[in-house]
Amino acid sequence: MAQTERPSRRARLEPALNTTFFDLPLALTAKRSPNLIAGDEAHFAAIAAAIEQERTHVAARLDELRRRRGDTGAELRDRDDEIRRLSSRMSTLERYGAEACLGRIVPEASAEADPEPLYIGRIGLTDASGIRLLVDWRTPAAEPFFAATHANALGLASRRRFRWSSGRVVDYWDEVFDLDSLGDAAALDDHSSFIASLASTRSPRMRDVLGTIQADQDAIIRQGARGPLVVDGGPGTGKTVVALHRTAYLLYANERIRAGGVLVIGPSPDYLAYVHDVLPSLGENSVQTCTLRDLVPEGRDAATDGGLTVASSLEMVRAVEAAVDIAERPPTRTLTVETPWGDAVLGAREWAEAFAAPEPGLTHNAAREQVWAAIVEIIADQVDAAREEDTDDFDAYDLVHDGPRDLERTLAANELLRGTVARSWPLLGAADLVAQLRSDPGVLSRIAPWLSDSQVRSFQREHPYRWTVEDLPLLDAAHRRLGDPGRADAARRWRAAEERERARMAQVTAELIANDDSDMGVMSMLRGQDLRSALVDRAALSEQAVDSLAGPFAHIVIDEAQELTDAQWQMVLARCPSRSITVVGDRAQARQGFVETWEERLARVGFGDAHIATLRINYRTPSEVMAVAAPEILAVLPDANVPESIRAGGEPVIRVDVSQIQGVVADWLKQHEEGVACVIGAPWFEGGPRVRSLTPTVAKGLEFDLVVVVEPASFGDGIAGAVDRYVAMTRATGQLVVASSALDG
């Protein structure tokens, strides 16, 4: 093999910190050999030094930007965008030192030179001399680190993965694809870092798994963002891991998605708390997360009804739309409007013209202001035309748009006109609209003739303002269609404040011009309307609040999507017009059943051309646990996608009496200083610092070292009961205990 004479990479990377980055236990003495880790030590030192140097540079740059004042709106926007970008970078730099390195890959040797390792990191990093220290894990160059297999090495000789703890490497593993090219510079193990990490204890937050992403998962993560992608897989297959890492990848690789933003919708607050740290750990701090409840103001206090109702159907969403359409019908009576400058007549043609004036896409309540503005214009035109021959210099248009707006004020004081418009295009609140449909069957039957009598009756409520989760899609549709009824008043107040500000500036301008004694009369330039408008201090004018979850978003991730009703899917669709979504779910975990395919379901609710990516390997659940859990779901769904576990936990499933639960948990806590446990199905059980007490529904998406499932038979019959048992049992990563009353034997 030809040898290069240039200095080795280790020589070119002078250690910057007098410390060691390896803290290998005595059991791994063989891995301490300098022949194996000296190069990594030097590289880690260079990484730590470069990160510290960049921290200093970014901090100085942020300080400079925060002191800078922009002269124009564009400059201010560019400054704020740069501050956000650098702040996100600083957050990542402060979070990690050398442990930003996930591992390294060594290409196959060539005839020209010995291969140099390529270090893969959470971020890309280059030192002051231009040496590339880390390659961002999302780049094409880093893909072989995740995707290489012994069947397809992708040009690699070897791959090393590091396991970090408190800033030190506590273990590492080498996978060698070309043994001849590595010689003795590799620590060969009979298991991979990924398999070894599966048995590690859990915590209240999802653990970091970026360094152990597998080839089947990486292939999904790097797929494009066009249209819906369904990540389908059973318990423990890493669906959520894939979806969140895919989010970070898309934000890095797709400028449209970074500019348009991403929303992650989870099934519960517990789930959101569990995954809260994943995206920030990947350097992404801009992603918004929520549950479906959070999308609607009434969602926080909505009760869980527990079953599907007519409210869950698209037919009821159509009823909400119909109710709004009826509230936008022009008057049928001709109205004569008297003004000091002459009379105007509003007949069917004039009403129709005014009611057709709002711009497409405006909410109902916001559009009423444009209807009113159109009515004022129509009346002004009529008054102007009537007096055109009598007064040459009279122009009602000027009364509408300049000065004190005498005509508009006169019309606003006309109670008959105002009342007619208010009745024909009323300001409506979403909750009030839906509550009326829930309390007045006559109204619902009239506006939604496609509903049967039984459907109308089933939607009625004794307390129409007591919401359930099934009502949220209707409330969301109403909010989106109506808008905030208070925004119209806020808009009027804003315009009044702007008019006062303009009047103030006009007075200031007049005084400046009057006192201008310069030869060129510079202040006369202020007579220009555009310049006077530019002087208005818009910072002094109130701003209206914006719903940050209203969208649109460039991409949406929806987890546990198998549970969504058709109406709930409309809440997602309304916020993602591009249809670029990552759908995460398992048809076998749908409590209400899921008999169709993902393609059929998504096409029916408005997302077409879905691509399905299936995960079939269970990395989380020990085979002993799956042996007990799988029959529960296969009994009701013989074709369920039950994944194959790749590890045995060594702990058999234990069956105890319910009276022993407290003792089981207490003994486990004494024996395990780390890890978390969960008791599922016992509302009376009080949790603790490392023990949760949850229902099967809330436990979805979570994982625990110890799981105690209480009275699984009481979860119910049919699909819902079987799903609850299956979900509860497969939360266990180590030990499963099944507790039942009057246990025989």
Q: Among 712, 694, 707, which Cα is nearest to 270's?
A: 694
Report how far residue 14's alpha carbon sits from residue 722's, in angstroms, rounded to the nearest whole number: 60
3-state secondary structure of 382: helix
Cβ atoms of 562 and 590 within 8 Å: the answer is yes
Q: 353: closest CA among 378, 335, 332?
A: 378
- In 3D, which of 44, 34, 36 has the Cα closest to residue 14? 44
Q: With beta carbons less than 8 A apart as the criterion, state whether 629 and 711 touch.
A: no
Q: Are strands 335-339 and 125-126 parallel, antiparallel or unpaired?
A: unpaired
- Binding site for ATP: which residues? 233-240
Would you give the DSSP letter of residue 449?
T
Torsion of the alpha carbons at 442, 443, 448 and 454, rounded to the nearest 10: -40
| Distances in whole angstroms, Cα of residue 378 to Cα of each of 44, 352, 373, 705 | 75, 11, 9, 72
Best CA proximity match to 408, nearest among 385, 378, 364: 378
- Comparing C-alpha atoms, which of 152, 161, 164, 177 is closest to residue 119? 161
- What is the layout of strands, in order, in the sheet containing 228-233? 288-291, 262-266, 555-558, 581-585, 228-233, 611-615
- Separation CA 412–CA 11 (nearest Å): 82
CB contact set of 557 (below 8 Å; sequence gap of 6+): 243, 244, 246, 247, 262, 263, 264, 265, 581, 582, 584
- Cα–Cα distance measured from residue 586 to residue 233, given in angstroms and rounded to the nearest whole number: 5
> Using CA atoms, how far apart are residues 60 and 51, in angstroms rounded to an integer?
14
Percentages of the chain per state (helix, strand, coil), in multiples of 5: 50, 15, 35
Place of tokens 């970070």: 248
Q: Is the dihedral of CA 662, 668, 669, 671 positive or negative?
A: positive
How many CA atoms within 13 Å lie on the side-chain side of 212?
Answer: 20
Rounded to whole angstroms, the Cα distance separating 174 from 23 reads 17
Identity at 308, one-letter amino acid code: L
363, 418 in Cβ contact below 8 A? no
- Alpha carbons 243 and 248: distance in angstroms, whole number: 9
Q: Regarding beta strands 677-680 and 654-657, do their DSSP bridges make them parallel or antiparallel, or are they unpaired?
A: unpaired
Q: Are strands 168-176 and 555-558 parallel, antiparallel or unpaired?
A: unpaired
